[in-house]
Chains A and B, each alone.
Chain A
Amino acid sequence: MTLSLILQAIFAGVTNGIVYALVGMGLSAIFKGSRVINAMQGEFAVIGAMTTVLLLTKSGWPYPAAIAGGALAGALVGAFIEVAFVRYMALKNASEDSFLLLTIGLALTLSASVLFFIGRDGHLLPPIGGEGVVLVLDAVIQLHALWLVAIGIGATLALRAFFHRTTVGLSMMAASIDADGAATTGINVGRMRTYTFVLGGLLGALGGILVTPLISVDYTLGLNLTLKGFAAAVLGGLTNPLGAAVGGVTLGLVESLAIIGISSSYKDVVAFSVLIVIMILMPNGILGRAGRRGG
């Protein structure tokens, strides 16, 4: 086991971790804003990636425009789901489990739609920043991975600024902490919930687009990403979207170091075992912040 191998693993862990973080931040934002665990969060990633692939290859859009289109598609689907389903069920005071089942049903529908309209094949996107690699102490790092890390960090910082600086972000925070109180100050709580789904869709789609140059995307990718994103969000304390960023990177690192230590095939086993253990032993996440509400 050489230093460069470890370094390589650490970098791969951070790269994967940022993707988990983006999916997890979206999941956490949605949970914070609506108390819905979105079991189709990973499908946002598939939608974002597939839309980008189609815009790039079929419609011939320039790459940056295709990426923007893909992210927008995620946001639109998020808005649609809130307006079409979640709003109605929230009016009927549906139980926590019903929301979970709703999103499971939507995940099945979306994954079947991808299979039907696009097919079984996996698709790859070209790497952002070209095919080049960088050598750091013998560890080979793709340029795309550096871009991914930079964009991921940028998105996290932007999210933080959004929640703390902008009127809409502050209103969303207020509505999620105390819906009745927020409503009396004139905040449209229903619309805020729609925005959290838009945000969740956007972040999920971005995660999907960024990972697609590394792993090919197909209709089965969603569930796995949902689970990893959920693990990231739980590690971060679930109601804290920025915590999910820390959680995602931690999960990515644990996974890739486990690969060196044990065997690559046990990656998921390690990741999900960590998830279960953390949920039981550290219900507020590794940052230890209060605010977990299970049921």
Chain B
Amino acid sequence: MASLNLQRNLLWIAVALAVWAALPFLVPRNIADLLVFTGIYTIAGLGIGLLLGHCGIVNLAQATFYGLGAYASAYCTVMMGWPSITGFLVGAVISMALAYVIGRPILRLTGYFLALGTLALSAIASALFFEWDWLTGGTLGIGGIPKLDLLGFVLDRPSRYYFFVWIVAFACMWAAHNLVDSRSGLMLRAMRDSSTAAAALSVDLQSLRTRVFVVCALFGSLAGSLFAHHVSFVSTQSFTVDRSITFLLIPVIGGATSIPGIVVGALFITFLPELLSKLGDVHQILFGLALVAVVVLMPDGLMGAWDRFRARLVARGGSDA
């Protein structure tokens, strides 16, 4: 029975991999482009999912770290002429340091206060991105960010960049999965169930929360750097409070405790507006309503709803037999 399950799982994984590898060649360029964005958003969403699903923290500041990553890449490559890797590293280091310095005081807040504290952080960052135009180019932005170059292989088409972004995304998903399964993950779940008891067992809530916040910032920055190299042009419009809200929706829609759920959420965020835009200008309203429907009707996100649906099918199958 167990080996049968294993075989079936392996089969599923093989099919999924085959579809994944074939996808960019089967779809038109604009869809491949959206799939690249799905990968980038998955990375950014993973960090928020860890915070929301495992620490109960609503992080509305991810656009800040996304922006830091993107500007670091833009500045290092365009302004300084350094190799692309420096942008990734500088962005990651600055984001993690900022998350640590700001996280320590701000994560003492709980519930709504924390959510709105992070939102305020995003608003401050977005104002600063706008004001510090010597660094960010302001609304004019920074253009001409080079495509990534892997040992001479230039990732200049969406279909090529797709593989790179998704391999990074899979690595991040693997890391997030490890974290959930690890000693830290154990303590995180304990903290979510009862922070009082967790404290009595020497689980250091503040330090754990801060460290997950730092990990979230790292993912955000990484996604931002990947974004900069994909679109070649970054400006303040991409890192506003609205973008932070969009990022939060990824785990909310998909299901915060499920790692595949983050991919589902990222697909929803990238593809639904695109599909709806065929209906004309009304699409933003429909997107808002779709979001409201998910929040009201599926409190555990799409993955949670899917799990419940499957459980019901299994229960029905069992009673028939």
Contact = CB atoms under 8 A, between A and B. Distances in A.
A268 B123 contact: yes
Contacts of A166: none
A265 interface: yes
B289 interface: yes
Interface string A74-106: 000000000001001100101111101110111
Interface in A219-244: 223, 227, 230-231, 234
B299 A227 contact: no
Contact of B58 (A100, A269, A276, A292): A100
Contacts of B284: 108, 112, 115-116
B116 A230 contact: yes
B275 interface: no
A276 B117 contact: yes
A268 B111 contact: no
A280 interface: yes
Nearest to A117: B285
B101 to A, nearest CB: 13
Contacts of B106: 276, 280
Contacts of B130: 265
B16 interface: no
Interface in B229-254: 241-242, 245, 248-249, 252
A280 B295 contact: no
B56 to A, nearest CB: 8
Contacts of B131: 265-266, 269
A280 B109 contact: yes
Q: Which of B116, B242, B284, B291 has the most CB of A within 10 A?
A: B116
A95 B295 CA distance: 11
B200 interface: no
Contact of A272 (B105, B124, B287): B124
Interface string A108-135: 1111110110000000000000000000
A105 B127 contact: no
A276 B111 contact: no
Given A96-B111, A279-B109, A37 B295 contact: no
User: Interface of chain A, helix or strand or loop or mixed?
Assistant: helix
B291 A108 contact: yes
Nearest to B105: A280
Interface string B115-143: 11101110110011011000000000000
A94 B292 CA distance: 13
A112 B287 contact: yes
Contacts of A97: 52, 56, 58, 115
A89 B299 CA distance: 10
Q: Which of B56, B249, B287, B295 has the most CB of A within 10 A?
A: B295
A89 B296 contact: yes
B9 interface: no
Interface residues of A, number: 44
A89 B293 CA distance: 11
A295 B114 contact: yes
Interface in A163-192: none
A85 B292 contact: yes
Interface in B52-76: 52, 56, 58
A139 to B, nearest CB: 27
A292 B116 CA distance: 14
Contacts of B299: 92, 94-95, 98
Given A98-B299, A269-B127, A273-B124, A279 B115 contact: no
B137 to A, nearest CB: 16
Contacts of B116: 37, 227, 230, 234, 275, 279
Nearest to B108: A280
Interface string B239-280: 001100100110010000000000000000000000000000
Nearest to A115: B284
A112 B58 CA distance: 23
Contacts of B119: 227
In the A-B complex, the 3 residue pairs with the closest CB atoms: A295-B111, A109-B288, A112-B284
Given A37-B112, A105-B291, A230-B116, 13 more contacts: A85-B292, A97-B58, A109-B289, A113-B285, A223-B241, A234-B113, A272-B120, A275-B120, A276-B121, A279-B116, A294-B113, A294-B114, A295-B111
